Chain A
C-alpha cells in the first residue's frame, strides 16, 4: 500500500484487479474471510446432499435407492467433507473476518500466506469430489481412514490422502497466521486477558491445530507409503500393526473434536452477553477452562478405540481422563447460564441459536460421558448411539454456533439487517428437525443398530423413518438460511455501527458494512 498520507483515508484499493482476479489475488482479510465462508457454505450443500442420500436409503429397511458400496462412499465423504470442508473452513472464515476487527489490527499478519491457505482448499475439495468418478468410486472405509480397508482401495484412496495433506497444510498456514496476528498485532492496551473470548478460543485452537495436524499428515503419509512403496507400517502380514494407525489417528482426532468446538464456545461467549445485556460471567474461568479442555484433549484419544483391545489399566486411564473433561466443560455451561441469569434478555435469531447450543450441546456432552464409560462403550461402539452423540456435538454444537455467529455478525459484514422473521423461521425449523433427526438415533443405537450399513433389521424401521423425515426437513430448512443471507447482501434495513444494543467490542466501533480497510490507525483499548 502507498505510504502517501494523503491517500490514507481511501476506503478502496487502487489498481487492484477486479472480477474473478480480485478474489484470486486478494490479500484482504475480509475478502478471504468471505471466500472461506462461501466455500464452507457450498461444501455444506454438497455434504448435506450426501447425508440426504444416506437418510433416503435408510428411510425403509431393504435396499431402495443406492448400491451398498455407494452408500459407504456417501457416509465416508459426508464425514470427511463436513469436518474438513465445512466446519473447519467456516471457523477460518470467522477468524479472518473477526480476529483483526476484534483486536484492532489492520489485517492478518501474513496476508499472502492467507491467500494461499484459502486457495489450496478448492483443490482438495475437487480431489475429494472427483474421487467419486474414479474406478471403484470414492473412499468407502469411513472418514477415519482405518487400514486395512484404506490400504486396499483404488486410486481414489490416494486422491483422498493427497486431499487430506492439502487440507492439513491449509490449516497449518491458517494457524500460524492467526497465532502471529493475535500475539503481535493487538491494539495498544489490549492485554491477553482483555481479548474477546472468541479470539482466545481461536488462539488455543490454532495451537491445537499446529500440534495435531502434522500427526495426521504423518499417519496418512504412512498409509500412502504402505499403499505405494511396499512399507508395512499398518500391514500385520509385514510385521506392522493396523491398531497403531488408530492410535496415531485419534491422537490427532480427539484434539480435532475440540478444534471444531472451541471456536463455537468463543462465538457463544460473544453472543450471550450481548443479548443478556450483561458482561460474560467468569471471563477468566472461561479462558482457563478453554486451556484446560485443550490440554486434556491430548490424553483421552484411546476412548475412541476401547473395543480394539487394551490393558484394563489403559481402559481405566482413558475412561477417567475422558470423564474429567466434563469439569471444565461444566464450568463453561454454568458460566453461560450465569451470564443469562437475571439478564435483560431478548431473543433475536443469534441468541436463539446460542441458547439452543447451550441446551443441545449439553445433551451431546452428556451422551459423551455415557460413551466414555468403557463397559458401556463396548456395548454401544459403532452403533447409532455414537452417531447421535457426535451429531448433537457437531450439528447443534459446532454448526448451530456457526449459524448463530453468521446471524450475529452478518449486519456488520453486509451493512444490512437480516430478515428477522425468516431468521426465526429458520431457527425453529432447524432446532425441531435437528432433534427429530438425531434424538431417535439414541434409541436405535441402544437397541443395537450398527452404523455405516445401508440396510437394517425390521425392528429399527420406525425410528429410522422418523430420522429420515427430520433429516429432509433439516436439509431443506437450510435453504431459508441461504435466502436470508442473500437478502441481507442485496439490501434491507441499514445496520447501525453497533448493530446490537448490548454489543461490546472493537468490531462494533467501525461502520456497517465494515470498510475494506479498518484500523489503519490502531485504536487504544482502555
Chain B
C-alpha cells in the first residue's frame, strides 16, 4: 500500500483488456501493484452494465 493508488481509468483499462483476455505484461504488473480490489470490482460491474447496453445496442441495430 506504500505505492500510490492507480487511477480509475487504469482500472477501467485493466477490466476492458480482461474482457478481451489479454494484457501487456508491463501494464499487468503495474495494475497488480497499483490497483485495489475494490477499484477492479467496481470497474468490472460498471463494465458489465456497459457491456449489456452495448449488446442491447447491437440488438436494436439488427431489429430496427
User: Does A429 have its Cβ within 8 Å of any Cβ on chain B?
Assistant: no
User: Does A120 have its Cβ within 8 Å of any Cβ on chain B?
Assistant: no
Q: Beyond A299-B52, A321-B55, is A285–B23 a contact (Cβ under 8 Å)?
A: yes
Considering the chains assembled together, what is the distance between the CA atoms of A292 and B21 in angstroms?
A: 9
Considering the chains assembled together, what is the distance between the CA atoms of A299 and B45 in angstroms?
A: 12
Determine the chain A residues whose CB is within 8 A of the CB of B58 once the complex forms. Answer: 316, 320
Closest to B19 in A: A292
Cβ-neighbour of A192 out of B17, B18, B37, B44 (below 8 A):
B37
The number of residue pairs between A and B whose CB atoms lie closer than 8 Å in the complex comes to 55
Determine the chain A residues whose CB is within 8 A of the CB of B18 once the complex forms. Answer: 285, 288-289, 291-292
Q: Beyond A285-B18, A285-B21, A316-B62, is A291–B44 a contact (Cβ under 8 Å)?
A: yes
- Chain B contact-residue range equals 20 to 34
Main secondary structure of the interface of B (DSSP, over half): helix
Interface size on A, residues (CB 8 A): 25
Considering the chains assembled together, what is the distance between the CA atoms of A192 and B60 in angstroms?
A: 40
Report the minimal beta-carbon distance from A374 to chain B, rounded to whole angstroms.
Answer: 12
Interface pair A193/B32, CB less than 8 Å apart: yes
Q: What are the interface flags for A312-353 relative to B under an 8 Å C-beta threshold, 1 for contact and 0 otherwise? A: 110011001100100110110000000000000000000000
Q: Beyond A192-B37, A291-B44, A299-B52, is A328–B21 a contact (Cβ under 8 Å)?
A: yes
> Can you list 8 A-B contacts (CB < 8 A)?
A285-B18, A288-B17, A288-B19, A288-B23, A316-B58, A317-B59, A321-B52, A321-B55
Interface pair A284/B59, CB less than 8 Å apart: no
User: Does B42 have its Cβ within 8 Å of any Cβ on chain A?
Assistant: no
Closest to A312 in B: B63
Interface pair A289/B21, CB less than 8 Å apart: yes
Report the minimal beta-carbon distance from B36 to chain A, rounded to whole angstroms.
Answer: 10
Report the minimal beta-carbon distance from A71 to chain B, rounded to whole angstroms.
Answer: 40
Closest to A311 in B: B63
Q: Beyond A295-B48, A320-B58, is A288–B21 a contact (Cβ under 8 Å)?
A: yes
Interface pair B44/A320, CB less than 8 Å apart: no
Q: Beyond A289-B18, A312-B63, is A317–B37 a contact (Cβ under 8 Å)?
A: no
Considering the chains assembled together, what is the distance between the CA atoms of A87 and B60 in angstroms?
A: 39
Report the minimal beta-carbon distance from B31 to chain A, rounded to whole angstroms.
Answer: 8
Cβ-neighbour of A320 out of B21, B45, B55 (below 8 A):
B55
Known: A288-B21, A289-B18, A327-B20. 18 other contacts (CB 8 A): A192-B37, A284-B23, A285-B23, A288-B17, A288-B19, A292-B19, A292-B21, A295-B44, A299-B52, A313-B63, A316-B59, A317-B55, A317-B59, A320-B59, A321-B52, A324-B55, A328-B19, A330-B21
Considering the chains assembled together, what is the distance between the CA atoms of A313 and B55 in angstroms?
A: 11
Main secondary structure of the interface of A (DSSP, over half): helix
- Tell which of B17, B21, B32, B60 has the most Cβ of chain A within 10 Å: B21
Closest to A328 in B: B21
Determine the chain B residues whose CB is within 8 A of the CB of A324 once the complex forms. Answer: 55
**Which residues of A (300-316) have their CB < 8 Å from a CB of B?**
312-313, 316
Closest to B62 in A: A316
Closest to B45 in A: A295
Q: Beyond A193-B32, A291-B44, A295-B48, is A313–B59 a contact (Cβ under 8 Å)?
A: yes
Considering the chains assembled together, what is the distance between the CA atoms of A327 and B18 in angstroms?
A: 11
Report the minimal beta-carbon distance from B49 to chain A, rounded to whole angstroms.
Answer: 10
Report the minimal beta-carbon distance from A373 to chain B, rounded to whole angstroms.
Answer: 14
Considering the chains assembled together, what is the distance between the CA atoms of A296 and B48 in angstroms?
A: 8
User: Does B22 have its Cβ within 8 Å of any Cβ on chain A?
Assistant: yes
Determine the chain A residues whose CB is within 8 A of the CB of B63 once the complex forms. Answer: 312-313, 316
Considering the chains assembled together, what is the distance between the CA atoms of A331 and B17 in angstroms?
A: 12
Interface pair B56/A317, CB less than 8 Å apart: yes
Considering the chains assembled together, what is the distance between the CA atoms of A298 and B22 in angstroms?
A: 22
**Which residues of A (388-413) have their CB < 8 Å from a CB of B?**
none
Going nearest first, the 10 A-B pairs with the smallest beta carbon separation are A288-B18, A331-B21, A316-B59, A295-B48, A193-B32, A317-B59, A284-B28, A313-B59, A320-B55, A285-B21
Closest to A207 in B: B41
Q: What are the interface flags for B10-29 relative to A under an 8 Å C-beta threshold, 1 for contact and 0 otherwise? A: 00000001111111000010
